[in-house]
Structure 1
Amino acid sequence: MGAKRNGASIRRRILARRLRELREGARLTLDEAAPALDTSASRLSRIENGQQKADVHLVKSMLDLYDAGDQWAEMLELAREAAKPGWYRAYGLGDNSYVGYETEATQVQEYAAGFVPGLLQVADYSRALYDASPLPRSAEERERDLAVRRIRQERLGSDVDPLEFVAILSENALRNPVGGRAVQQVQLDHLLKASELPRVSFQVLPDGRGAHPSLESGFFVLSFGDLGEPDMAYVEHALGAAHLWKEPEVTLARLKFDRLRTLALAPGESRDLIRRVAGEL
């Protein structure tokens, strides 16, 4: 089910890191390399930080200047992949959006503090959340966002482009009738069905656990498999979101997630709780 969709966000970071390593291996500073490449040191710095695209012609010049040797073919292929627009661009999302990074991830861990994770939401539940947002959304924009969510969810059952999803959600998220009780019932039924997917695992953090490591907000930890990029943490909060790449920050996110898993119900107990909540409706 589903075809692999392109994403440029992580490819651009990989290309940036590899180009920086080649320049440093050639013992050239930014100020020394830039004139030889007919560009500025500031532009070169942005490319090496993954903040700006590098066209293939410039990459060829860099490989020549840095004497890349047998890395030419691999680096050019990487440059072409990084230059392709991600599928999400057609839906108004940029390469630095969360979706841009999730597209390249092989595993997502998420703690959802107050609502069902987006990868497990039914459409009417998502619509209700969009309607509650203070940000104005046209009907067309809302349907666009729903389409993006559907595409993301396809990976949970895909053999071509699989995504492993490990989630922890609060009991409050189960009991909160987002969209009304009829939608809540459909959403709970969907959670039970999703729990049968081989790449989906979730646990419920029951009410009454007291203080725990992430009372303030939900968060994500994304892993990128054999792409060679380090894990990324992503935090959503009431006023925005933040991408976190520094190892101490990502390590803290992993530790918090592991701690929450020990406090949450086991997967089987979590399904039993969902059934009980559904039976109370």
Structure 2
Amino acid sequence: MSVDEDDVGWEVDSDDESSAIAELIGRQIKLWREAASLRAVEFGERMGYGENLIHKVERGARIPRPEFLDRADQILNANGHLQSLKADAERARYPRRVRDLAKLEAQSVEVCAYNNSVIEGLLQTPEYASAVFGCRRPPFDQEELEQRLSARMARRAIIDGTSATPMFSFVQCESTLRRPLGGTMVLQAQLEHLLEVGKLRNVDLQVLPLDLEENAGLGGPFRLFKLKDGSTVAHNEVQLVSRVISSPKEVQTLDVRYGIIRAQALTPRESLAFIEKVRDET
């Protein structure tokens, strides 16, 4: 039987946590298969996959998709035990740096982000994010591109507009509003999304105009995470480096810098009006 491995599940990321989760899920599937007195080839036939792909999942070489776990749970009469692993499988499929960011966001009472390169990841539409990832050189292969896009959209769910925490503060350089990544229609839809998110009660969205004589954000994008335990950490991503910053001195420098950037930027109300103006001009 010839089946694309991507239909079964995702490739395992190389870090220890992802591998451990994939191996745990694989062992659980194997235990339930053996309890059902099914050989791998028999289980594969009922699942619609070849024996080799079943073995890859069971030894943790592939992270099973949600539909795989749903079907396996039904065939093996696992009573929801395998279905309950879907959240773990979803988490394991993302690169470690994405999981680390998601953890920081979940532990924060306030998330602050400045970006003068592209629209901040938590604010991106799927089409805009796809265009951003598509600009990468050398390019991502299709599986990694889809993995990164899915991970970014999953992180975006934390801004749902139904809760007061965490609070979000975003400052976008005007240049990011005018850079037509993906084309005019993609940019217009992205600007519309910014207008929607900017109206949420726990979001402050500001624009840093290009015509300023002083600009404290020339050093590039960064994020601040003000955590529930009262501490603050920062995150910086540039070229091939993604780094969480915990040094109190460095974090303080970025915290002060972000405060200045916010003061230089338009107010949230002025910023929404400015985004509307750019949208109409696009």
TM-score normalised according to structure 1 size: 0.64
Matched residues in 2 for 1:161 and 1:278: separation?
A: 28
The reply on whether 1:113 has 2:116 as its aligned counterpart is yes
Contact 1:155 1:161 in 2 (8 A): no
User: What is the correspondence of 1:80-95 to structure 2 with a 5 Å cutoff?
Assistant: 88-93=91-96
Instruction: State the number of aligned residues.
Output: 197
Task: Describe the superposition over 1:14-43 as per-residue Cα deviations: whole angstroms up to 9, x where unpaired.
Answer: xxxxxxxxxxxxxxxxxxxxxxxxxxxxxx
Number of the residue aligned with 2:204: 201
- Residue 236 of structure 2 aligns to a residue whose secondary structure is strand
Which amino acid counterpart does residue 179 of structure 1 have in structure 2? Answer: G
The one of the two structures with greater contact order (alpha-carbon pairs below 8 A, sep at least 6) is 1
Contact 1:110 1:168 in 2 (8 A): yes
- Residue 225 of structure 2 aligns to a residue whose secondary structure is strand
Task: Describe the superposition over 1:230-249 as per-residue Cα deviations: whole angstroms up to 9, x where unpaired.
Answer: 21011122332221111111
Number of the residue aligned with 1:66: none
Contact 1:86 1:95 in 2 (8 A): no
Number of the residue aligned with 1:190: 193
Number of the residue aligned with 2:271: 270
Contact 2:208 2:266 in 1 (8 A): yes
Number of the residue aligned with 2:261: 260
Number of the residue aligned with 1:35: none
Task: Describe the superposition over 1:46-66 as per-residue Cα deviations: whole angstroms up to 9, x where unpaired.
Answer: xxxxxxxxxxxxxxxxxxxxx
User: What is the correspondence of 1:1-281 to structure 2 with a 5 Å cutoff?
Assistant: 88-93=91-96, 97-157=100-160, 159=162, 162-225=165-228, 228=229, 230-281=231-282
Residue 123 of structure 1, CA deviation: 0.6
Residue 193 of structure 1, CA deviation: 0.6
Residue 229 of structure 1, CA deviation: 5.7
Residue 152 of structure 1, CA deviation: 1.3
Of stretches 191-200 and 149-158 in structure 1, the one that deviates more from structure 2 is: 149-158
Q: Taking structure 1 as reference, are residues 94 and 110 closer, same or farther at Cα in structure 2, changes over 3 Å only?
A: closer
Of stretches 212-221 and 125-134 in structure 1, the one that deviates more from structure 2 is: 212-221
Residue 87 of structure 1, CA deviation: 5.7
Matched residues in 2 for 1:97 and 1:246: separation?
A: 17
Q: Taking structure 1 as reference, are residues 86 and 202 closer, same or farther at Cα in structure 2, changes over 3 Å only?
A: farther
Any unmatched runs of 5+ in structure 2? 1-16, 18-86
Residue 86 of structure 1, CA deviation: 9.4
Matched residues in 1 for 2:164 and 2:195: separation?
A: 23
Contact 1:86 1:100 in 2 (8 A): no
Residue 196 of structure 1, CA deviation: 1.4
- Residue 96 of structure 2 aligns to a residue whose secondary structure is coil
Matched residues in 1 for 2:275 and 2:185: separation?
A: 15
Any unmatched runs of 5+ in structure 1? 1-8, 10-83
Matched residues in 1 for 2:123 and 2:154: separation?
A: 12
Contact 2:114 2:258 in 1 (8 A): yes
Contact 1:155 1:162 in 2 (8 A): no
Task: Describe the superposition over 1:64-93 as per-residue Cα deviations: whole angstroms up to 9, x where unpaired.
Answer: xxxxxxxxxxxxxxxxxxxx9796323243
Matched residues in 2 for 1:224 and 1:160: separation?
A: 16
Identical aligned residues as a percent: 27
Q: Taking structure 1 as reference, are residues 95 and 179 closer, same or farther at Cα in structure 2, changes over 3 Å only?
A: closer
Contact 1:224 1:230 in 2 (8 A): yes
Residue 261 of structure 1, CA deviation: 0.7
